[in-house]
Amino acid sequence: MHGLLGKTLKHSFSKKIHESLGTPYELLETDDLSLFFESKDFDGINITIPYKEEVISYCDVIDPLVKRTNSCNTIVKKDGLLYAYNTDYTGFKESLSFHHITFEGKMIAIIGNGATSRTISALAEDLGAKQILVFARHPKDNEYSLDRFNDYKDISIMINTTPVGMYPNIGDSLPCSLTSMKNLKIVIDVIYNPLKTTLLLEAEDAGLQTMNGLYMLVAQAAKSYDLFHHKQVSSKQILSLYRALKKEQSNIVFIGMPKSGKSLYSKIYAEKYHRELYDIDTLFEAKFHMAISTYFDQYKESSFRKEEQAIIKEVSSYSGVVISTGGGAILKKENVTNLKHNGIIVFIDAPLDILKNTKTLIHRPLLQNDEALENLYKKRYQRYLDTADIVLKKQTLHTSTNINALEALLYEYFGT
């Protein structure tokens, strides 16, 4: 038996990765390590927070890297003995290479002082970092208090190794300001669920290069697989697994003007790829048992936007779904942030002439006539462009042609 040992594992993608490699794999949640290790009823396991340090005492043979980092994320049973390994080191190193990130000569700031922090500190030292600073809420010897992070203006690479911002608490953020760090170029977060934490979204807004923990997860799993089965996973396989997992876990989010086709395209895409569909307007009307136009009349737009935001926040925490938003959803920054945690934002860019000629039976509160439509279009168009990851130019009313164009754009985006 192979699996992942941890305390809470709802966030984990490890089962998908190992089973893609052909290994039956279990998620093994426990509050009692002594009871778990009493039987040694496994062939090989991976370890995640909070047990990467604690499990070492149950092992018989300790790899030198585990001794150096005091961190173990892989245990293999051989002839009744338990061998402790650290494959996070290899996984993070390969992820840096994939994202073309170098540590040599750089000042590195690592947030957190747990097992993963120690692993990355060791790797940064081996890769020739100029200086390695560890920041934590409760710093130990030779570490710094997290509230002093912004005092060190020469930091060029920041790495978060804490669970702050991890599912289900995807809105949480670190008490650090990125905009004041003029030499900061790269922000890394080892979290992979959500795909973009609040920290990474803030970094993107600041124009910084970012890296999440997904490639690291796949690469360390490949190294673990090698230790489990003595079968090496090629770089090509790792890349293929990474791209497939990224695509599978990403939400496809449709934005655009009313009457642009968001509901139709989202339905077609969801059905074709067997994904759950969440139409924000439909969810709203089901929740309040009335049409949106009726709600507007009774409670005004400001109340609608507040309730819409709550629905978007909940749906945005899901993975691998299709989301169709209302035309004005992107007007609130909080909505955009939430949608981008796991979402690829697709703007259906329908020109005014197509919008005006699109017939619909749905009453739109803000669209009383063509003049109102044109004014709304001019007001929102740049916001749609600024929000989108992908822009689907809707040049025709033929749905199949536009869907084919969308698939081509997503193929290019994910590299698969």
Q: Identify whether 378 is part of a domain.
A: yes
Q: Please give the full DSSP string across 371-400, using - where no structure is assigned.
A: HHHHHHHHHHHHHHHHH-SEEEE---S-HH
Which CATH number do you get for residue 35? 3.40.50.10860
pLDDT value of position 360? 55
Q: In the listed set 87, 103, 126, which residue is the last one of a domain according to the structure?
A: 87
Q: Identify whether 245 is part of a domain.
A: no
Distance CA 314, CA 87 (A): 34
SS (H, E, C) 75-91: EEEECCEEEEECCHHHH
pLDDT value of position 10? 82
Distance CA 1, CA 44 (A): 7
Is residue 223 among the annotated active site residues? no
Count of structural domains, the chain: 3
Asked if 266 and 365 sit in the same domain, the reply is: yes
pLDDT value of position 258? 87
Asked if 312 and 370 sit in the same domain, the reply is: yes
pLDDT value of position 361? 42
Asked if 406 and 278 sit in the same domain, the reply is: yes
The one catalytic residue in 52, 246, 259, 340 is 52
Distance CA 313, CA 87 (A): 35
Asked if 337 and 410 sit in the same domain, the reply is: yes
Distance CA 205, CA 183 (A): 16
pLDDT value of position 359? 59
What does the CA dihedral 61, 63, 66, 72 come to, rounded to 10 degrees? -60
The sign one gets for the Cα dihedral 387, 351, 326, 243 is negative
Asked if 73 and 150 sit in the same domain, the reply is: no
Q: Identify whether 76 is part of a domain.
A: yes
Bridge partners of 369?
A: none
Which CATH number do you get for residue 134? 3.40.50.720
CB 268 within 8 A of CB 339: no
Q: In the listed set 61, 87, 113, which residue is the last one of a domain according to the structure?
A: 87
Q: Identify whether 221 is part of a domain.
A: no
Query: Which stretches of 206-291 are DSSP H helices?
Result: 214-229, 235-249, 262-272, 280-288
- Domain carrying residue 398: 250-414
* Residues counted in the chain: 416
Asked if 286 and 409 sit in the same domain, the reply is: yes
Q: Identify whether 237 is part of a domain.
A: no
Kindly report the pTM of this predicted structure: 0.92
Distance CA 364, CA 347 (A): 19
Q: Identify whether 242 is part of a domain.
A: no
Distance CA 13, CA 71 (A): 20
Q: In the listed set 216, 237, 270, which residue is the last one of a domain according to the structure?
A: 216
Asked if 278 and 401 sit in the same domain, the reply is: yes
pLDDT value of position 402? 87
Asked if 333 and 400 sit in the same domain, the reply is: yes
Per-block mean pLDDT, blocks of 10 residues, the chain (416 long): 93 90 94 92 94 97 98 96 98 98 98 97 98 96 95 97 93 92 97 96 96 97 96 96 96 94 94 96 96 90 95 95 96 96 96 76 59 88 96 82 90 86
